[in-house]
Amino acid sequence: MNLIKGLQRVKALCRTLRVNREIEDLSETYYNQAYQHKSFIKVSLNKKEVLAGCCVLVSCRLLNWPITMGTISCLLDADSMVVGAVYEEMVKILNIKAPIINVTDVMEAHSQEYKISSVYVPEELAENSKDLTKRAVALVELAADSWIVTGRKPIPIMMAAIYLAWQSLKPTKQRLKYSLDKFCQIAKVNKHKPALKRITEMKEVLCKLGKEIPWVKEPVTPDNVVRLMEDILQHRDALLRRALRTHEDALLADCQASCEDSLIEETAPSQISEVVEQTPDLSSVELCESNAERAKQPGDGDDNQCAASEQHSYTQGSQDSSQNWGKRVLFAPPCVIHAKKRRVEQPEPKDVTGDEEISDSEIDSYIRTPREARDFALAQKMFSMSESEKS
Amino acid sequence: MQLCSSAWTQVLEGPGRSWIRSAGSSLMDESALERYFDDSIANDSSFMLGEELGLQSPTSSLQDSSYLSMKAGPSGDLGAELDLSFLPDDLSTQDDTAEAAQTQASVLDESQDSGVCLDYNSQDSTAADPQQGMSSLGPGTGTSPFCPMTPMTPMTPMTPVTERNIVSTVNLGCPLDLKFIALQARNAEYNPKRFAAVIMRIREPRTTALIFSSGKMVCTGAKSEEQSRLAARKYARVVQKLGFPARFLDFKIQNMVASCDVCFPIRLEGLVLTHQQFSSYEPELFPGLIYRMVKPRIVLLIFVSGKVVLTGAKERAEIYEAFENIYPILRGFRKQ
């Protein structure tokens, strides 16, 4: 019976993944339950196999054995979207609340896939999995803090982290020359295209921190940052704090400069509003405003104008800020920093009641003339005739 | 009614931006579609209109007044809006963009449209009602129902909740010959092998309709309830002109989609931990967190960028209530 076959498949998957007995038992229990449910009892054998994989996946998650959906999809040789759909359905039916995977947890298992130890590749390119994992995990943690991880697929992130970790563990010219493509080739893994973008994003973050290293004199660029990676990761907390402070000071300086400007030109919109964003420390904003207040003291007449221009400039600024607050903070999700350009929305009439008169001419414009209809019908006939001739 | 999911999603490519299409995830299409169809078209018995319009509480009147200011300036009860402006008989050509490649980001980026929310901002900045905290104005006035704060600390401005799509249904009350309609109407599409309905579009309001042989019709793509009704009436008129005794029965708003931007990033991983019963976050499948709110019964898609899509509402008040509920939760995840 198919149920038995399905349970065997569950067992087989568990063995392949080498999970513990508890997970295997739980998976079988879930499979039994789900299989009998009306949503799954009549589905194709293919789907039943996917269901088996999903049961294993959810059990792993519940019992703290991190694996990705991608791994399961690979084992089942199924499309991850299909697996996803079955998974969602199954957790709904069985009313399971499984925790999400933590990328850093999965990293160790993932890095095992890379055949990059000295058994497989020449010494200059080899790294042992432990060092690799440790460095990659640190990088992923940094990426998570700087908004690169949330909302993204985990596997390209892990791939990017491992690649950069590998490069930085021995930043020789040779290794640095290796593109992601080549790296995946020697490590015998399938390349994931999004990993390239992740690499760029991670390097950007590393550069922002690298700039703060006191003993580095040359400018830090994506090209030379890999050499500094070890130091950056080791001191990342301190560097993060420094970078945020530097950024804050820069904003404050901008704000003060523009405060003075706005009082010189009374009607010019000031950039005070610029500061009104995600500053990690609100005291800088308060400081700026108290500066503005103090500067406003001389002459009451100025006050109103200043207030008005401030409000106006604030709304101006709020236009900018609501359009891209991401540009003014140090770290933001990349989708905010590189916001897609919107096409201009056609201005629709706002005051529609729904009961307006509908003009005949408008309706007529949607209807074919008799001539048109005849021509169209004729064309259709000819088209379908030629289609049937072809086949 | 048997539906081919892919046909449906193709059908919704058109002027009407359906979040279903733009969500990009097939697993959401299927169940959302089927639920919707089962509930609305197959059974005529309408849904329970559970919630009362929450016009009493100060917070929702805040939303209403900001919405109304967007509409026409004077504030007042939602229902009492009496601005009768006739539509110009302006048949500008339709922008025939293929919405096929639309990603969820592009739907949400719409909230960046300067046209709608920012005009409102600058118009009202001088007449600043300190209650209108949604798009707060100027240091010193910043108060909002969500974050009472010291005057020195300005609030992060945030876009108001804007309607993106309205889906409605109506019964034309007579059987229709779809082949005939497809032949006689310029704006009609009919591929019976792919989908058992005529797809018709009009320019103003820019919408798409699905017209079935039973006489039932679905209208999508409108930006407000009133526009949806107007559009549905126009489609009915077209069908009438083609010679059918079409009526306009049981017009009903089935779904409303709105979006907004809270303008700060959100730790989705944290949110799914603390609100596990309502949230589903699977970055391997979809970048957003799916939050199923129970009261009101609204589904929210929350993204790391701070953009939020709200859907599943039958009435505007539900959208606003859902937003009011979620905003304080999101603020909690603002910084780590």
Above 90 in pLDDT, residue A110? no
Token readout for B10 is: 């193709």
User: What is the distance between the alpha carbons of residues B132 and A290, in angstroms, rounded to a whole number?
Assistant: 24
Chain A residues touching residue B128 (CB < 8 angstroms): 311
pLDDT of residue B10: 41
Chain B residues touching residue A340 (CB < 8 angstroms): 105-106, 109
Predicted confidence band of residue A296 (pLDDT cuts 50, 70, 90): very low
Rg (CA), chain B: 21
Size of interface A-B (CB pairs under 8 A): 232
Above 90 in pLDDT, residue A180? yes
Above 50 in pLDDT, residue A274? no
User: Cβ atoms within 10 A of the Cβ of A224, count?
Assistant: 15
Percent of all residues in chain B with a pLDDT value above 70, rounded to a whole number: 53
Above 70 in pLDDT, residue B285? yes
Among A90-94, A286-290, B54-58, name the most confident range.
A90-94
Which of A150, A318, A347 lies at the smallest CB-CB distance from B157?
A318
Is A105 touching B (CB cutoff 8 A)?
no
Shortest CA distance from A329: residue in chain B: B264
A119 vs B149, more confident: A119
A251 vs B185, more confident: B185
Contact A233, A142 (CB under 8 A): yes
Percent of all residues in chain A with a pLDDT value above 90, rounded to a whole number: 34
B127 vs A17, more confident: A17
A237-251, A266-280, B136-150, B155-169: segment of lowest average pLDDT: B136-150
Is A272 touching B (CB cutoff 8 A)?
yes
pLDDT of residue A125: 87
Chain B residues touching residue A154 (CB < 8 angstroms): 283-284
Tell me the β-bridge partners of B169: B218, B252
Token readout for A253 is: 């300086």
Distance from the Cα of B55 to chain A's closest Cα (Å) equals 20
Contact A233, A138 (CB under 8 A): yes
A257 vs A157, more confident: A157
Average pLDDT over residues B280-293: 94
- Please, which residues have CB within 8 angstroms of residue B100's CB and are 6 or more apart in sequence? B13
A182-196, A340-354, B289-303: segment of lowest average pLDDT: A340-354
pLDDT of residue A323: 54
CA angle B54/B59/B62 to nearest 5° reads: 95
Which one, of B67, B284, B97, B203, lies nearest residue A351 by Cα? B67
CB contact under 8 A, A311 and B125: yes
Q: In the predicted model, what is the mean pLDDT of chain B? A: 69
Shortest CA distance from B28: residue in chain A: A85
Above 80 in pLDDT, residue B268? yes
Which one, of A210, A200, A265, lies nearest residue A238 by Cα? A210
Predicted confidence band of residue A326 (pLDDT cuts 50, 70, 90): confident
Q: What is the pTM of this model?
A: 0.69
Chain B residues touching residue A345 (CB < 8 angstroms): 110, 113, 115-116
Place of tokens 């039994």: A32
Predicted confidence band of residue A28 (pLDDT cuts 50, 70, 90): very high
Inter-CA distances, A334 with A230, A320, A326, A329, B260, Å: 24, 17, 8, 12, 18
Which of A285, A289, A342 lies at the smallest CB-CB distance from B110?
A342
Chain B residues touching residue A343 (CB < 8 angstroms): 97
Which of A85, A99, A154 lies at the smallest CB-CB distance from B284?
A154
Above 90 in pLDDT, residue A165? yes
Above 60 in pLDDT, residue B9? no
> SS3 sequence, chain A?
CHHHHHHHHHHHHHHHHCCCHHHHHHHHHHHHHHHHCHHHHCCCHHHHHHHHHHHHHHHHHHCCCCCCHHHHHHHHCCCHHHHHHHHHHHHHHHCCCCCCCCHHHHHHHHHHCCCCCCCCCCHHHCCCHHHHHHHHHHHHHHHHHCCCCCCCCHHHHHHHHHHHHHHHHCCCHHHHHCCHHHHHHHHCCCCCCHHHHHHHHHHHHHHHHHCCCCCCCCCCCCCCHHHHHHHHHHCHHHHHHHHHHHHHHHHHHHHHHHHHHHHHCCCCCCCHHHHCCCCCCCHHHHHHHHHHHHHHCCCHHHHHHHHHHHHHHHHHHHHHHHHHHHHHCCCCCHHHHCCCCCCCCCCCCCCCCCCCCCCHHHHHCCECCHHHHHHHHHHHHHHHHHHHHHC
Chain A residues touching residue B144 (CB < 8 angstroms): none
pLDDT of residue A257: 83
Dmax (CA) for chain A in angstroms is 91
Shortest CA distance from B124: residue in chain A: A315
pLDDT of residue A142: 94
User: What is the distance between the alpha carbons of residues A203 and B80, in angstroms, rounded to a whole number?
Assistant: 57
A28-32, A234-238, A294-298, B313-317: segment of lowest average pLDDT: A294-298
Which of A84, A289, A367 lies at the smallest CB-CB distance from B238?
A367
Residues 357..376 of A with a Cβ closer than 8 Å to B: which? 357-359, 361-368, 372-373, 376
Average pLDDT over residues B201-205: 92
Is A323 touching B (CB cutoff 8 A)?
yes
CB contact under 8 A, B115 and A365: no
CB contact under 8 A, A366 and B26: no
Is A387 touching B (CB cutoff 8 A)?
no
Average pLDDT over residues B271-285: 91
pLDDT of residue A120: 87
Distance from the Cα of A123 to chain B's closest Cα (Å) equals 35
Predicted confidence band of residue B244 (pLDDT cuts 50, 70, 90): very high
Above 50 in pLDDT, residue B192? yes
Predicted confidence band of residue B240 (pLDDT cuts 50, 70, 90): very high
Q: In the predicted model, what is the mean pLDDT of chain A? A: 81
Which one, of A230, A231, A202, A201, lies nearest residue A214 by Cα? A231
**A201, A278, A314: best mutation site toward chain B, by most B Cβ within 10 Å?**
A314
Distance from the Cα of B262 to chain A's closest Cα (Å) equals 9
Is A277 touching B (CB cutoff 8 A)?
yes
Chain A residues touching residue B126 (CB < 8 angstroms): 308, 311
pLDDT of residue A325: 78
Distance from the Cα of A267 to chain B's closest Cα (Å) equals 15
pLDDT of residue B32: 53
Which of B112, B185, B224 lies at the smallest CB-CB distance from A352?
B224
Cα A189 from chain centre: 22
CB contact under 8 A, A285 and B230: no
Above 70 in pLDDT, residue A377? yes
Amino acid at A343: R
What count of Cα atoms within 13 Å lies in the side-chain half-sphere of residue B271? 32
pLDDT of residue A217: 86
Amino acid at B226: E
Place of tokens 């009436």: B233
pLDDT in tens, A349-376: 667 888 888 899 999 999 999 999 999 9
Among A11-15, B156-160, B219-223, name the most confident range.
B219-223
Above 80 in pLDDT, residue B112? no
Tell me the β-bridge partners of A216: none
pLDDT of residue A305: 43
pLDDT in tens, B24-78: 344 444 455 555 545 544 444 433 333 333 333 344 333 443 433 334 334 334 3
Chain A residues touching residue B224 (CB < 8 angstroms): 352
Contact A26, A72 (CB under 8 A): no
Above 50 in pLDDT, residue B209? yes
- Please, which residues have CB within 8 angstroms of residue B99's CB and are 6 or more apart in sequence? B12, B13, B14, B15, B17, B21, B22
pLDDT of residue A275: 40
Shortest CA distance from A309: residue in chain B: B138
Chain A residues touching residue B89 (CB < 8 angstroms): 359, 361-362
Above 60 in pLDDT, residue A280? no
Average pLDDT over residues B148-153: 39
pLDDT of residue B322: 94
Angle A194-210/A154-169 helices, nearest 10 degrees? Answer: 50
Above 60 in pLDDT, residue B229? yes
User: What is the distance between the alpha carbons of residues A272 and A317, in angstroms, rounded to a whole number?
Assistant: 8
pLDDT in tens, B85-96: 444 444 434 333
User: What is the distance between the alpha carbons of residues B5 and B11, in angstroms, rounded to a whole number?
Assistant: 10
Which one, of B286, B36, B277, lies nearest residue B167 by Cα? B36
Predicted confidence band of residue B223 (pLDDT cuts 50, 70, 90): very high
CB contact under 8 A, B139 and A282: no
Which of B91, B117, B141 lies at the smallest CB-CB distance from A362?
B91
Amino acid at A348: E
Which one, of A209, A208, A200, lies nearest residue A236 by Cα? A209
Which of B105, B152, B277 lies at the smallest CB-CB distance from A289?
B152
Is A97 touching B (CB cutoff 8 A)?
yes
Predicted confidence band of residue B153 (pLDDT cuts 50, 70, 90): very low
Token readout for B72 is: 């026409």
Chain B residues touching residue A362 (CB < 8 angstroms): 89, 91, 204, 234
Count of residues in chain B: 336
Predicted confidence band of residue B314 (pLDDT cuts 50, 70, 90): very high
User: What is the distance between the alpha carbons of residues B33 and B39, in angstroms, rounded to a whole number?
Assistant: 10
Is A178 touching B (CB cutoff 8 A)?
no
A173-177, B64-68, B243-247: segment of lowest average pLDDT: B64-68
A97-111, A162-176, B280-294, B311-325: segment of lowest average pLDDT: A97-111
